[in-house]
A = this chain, B = another copy of it.
């Protein structure tokens, strides 16, 4: 569409153009209500249909059975770093965490600051978090195992989830939820900030298994308890209506236009393969993640020098490609290619990479 650029931002990130167009078209009058979606009561029938449909689509897309609840919270994954141990890690017990980078480290810190006992069962810090650990030492009797399914900053992901021998798995899936099918049965809880694969910033999807709710302590403040949100169907208080509405439309696009997570994974693999091939065939680009741990969502790479990296990002912007700078904590370059990033954008990026290497190499 005229004036639109190719968006490789790590989050908030690209969203499907048909979804944006639908929102724009009905922004002054949502479903004939005579009000904007931003003005509609969260207690209205029309909003109820939105939130019910969004939750139902999460359940269908992820093939969740009725033991799972889907709720929409606020505060992003960072708030979940605090809520998970507060609700699900009883005093006197421990939880296992696998440290695969910045966000996993934060999750560990937020449990420890509450005085909770964390066993770091594995870490890839020894090689700057460039891989997913294969040797994991779970401490028996843990309350849960916490992982970060995809590491946005380091460009790694769990290709297969660890076997926890029945201990509930908990995952921050902010940056790869809905990117591929997986078996949800080992998971006690999954959380994801919306602003990568689901919608805009401002909502967090939390999927929680019924048996986990029994652990929630009675005497927590209401807004810090998962049970408050499950019992009131995400409406313990006014939810972030616009963000949930947009998530609903993105999920509808994923189900009805893409055709579900099996198709989404095929497309995501094709997109990632294109970028990794551009890296691997050249002497100019170097991928920073070890090959078997490479993320399909965030492709991290270096150029021969920092000044070339700076030039690469600058010229990309001049050519209508945004968001290619690596995270400020690690430097380098990064192309985030979430579900909504079209193949056309990836092709444009790869052409640009080839051209830039040829000119500068």
Residues of chain A whose beta carbon lies under 8 Å from any beta carbon of chain B:
1, 3-5, 7, 9-15, 17, 20-21, 23-24, 27-29, 32-36, 38-42, 74-79, 81-82, 86, 106, 110, 113-114, 193, 195, 199-203, 219-224, 236-243, 246, 320, 322-323
**Interface of A (DSSP majority class):** loop
Contact call B200/A38, Cβ cutoff below 8 A: yes
Bound complex: CA A20 to CA B28 (Å): 7
Bound complex: CA A59 to CA B220 (Å): 34
Tell me which residues across on chain B come within 8 A of A79, comparing CB atoms. 74, 223, 237
Tell me which residues across on chain B come within 8 A of A86, comparing CB atoms. 221
A4-B28, A82-B222 are known; give 4 further A-B pairs, CB within 8 A: A10-B41, A75-B223, A75-B237, A242-B242
Given A78-B237, A79-B223, A114-B221, A243 and B39 touching (CB < 8 A)? Answer: no
CB distance from A31 to the nearest CB of B (A): 11
Contact call A12/B193, Cβ cutoff below 8 A: no
Bound complex: CA A223 to CA B82 (Å): 7
Contact call A20/B36, Cβ cutoff below 8 A: yes
CB distance from A340 to the nearest CB of B (A): 9
Tell me which residues across on chain B come within 8 A of A195, comparing CB atoms. 238, 241
The residue from B76, B221, B238, B242 contacting A113, defined by CB atoms under 8 A apart: B221
Tell me which residues across on chain B come within 8 A of A14, comparing CB atoms. 35, 39
Contact call B220/A113, Cβ cutoff below 8 A: yes
Bound complex: CA A296 to CA B14 (Å): 42
CB distance from A254 to the nearest CB of B (A): 16
Bound complex: CA A40 to CA B239 (Å): 22
Bound complex: CA A13 to CA B28 (Å): 13
Contact call A5/B27, Cβ cutoff below 8 A: no
Bound complex: CA A222 to CA B222 (Å): 18
Closest to A199 in B: B38
CB distance from A219 to the nearest CB of B (A): 6
CB distance from A4 to the nearest CB of B (A): 5
Tell me which residues across on chain B come within 8 A of A224, comparing CB atoms. 82
Closest to A237 in B: B78
Contact call A222/B4, Cβ cutoff below 8 A: no
CB distance from A89 to the nearest CB of B (A): 13
Contact call B4/A82, Cβ cutoff below 8 A: no
Contact call A202/B242, Cβ cutoff below 8 A: yes
Tell me which residues across on chain B come within 8 A of A9, comparing CB atoms. 35, 39-41
Contact call B35/A4, Cβ cutoff below 8 A: yes
Contact call A74/B7, Cβ cutoff below 8 A: no
Closest to A80 in B: B223
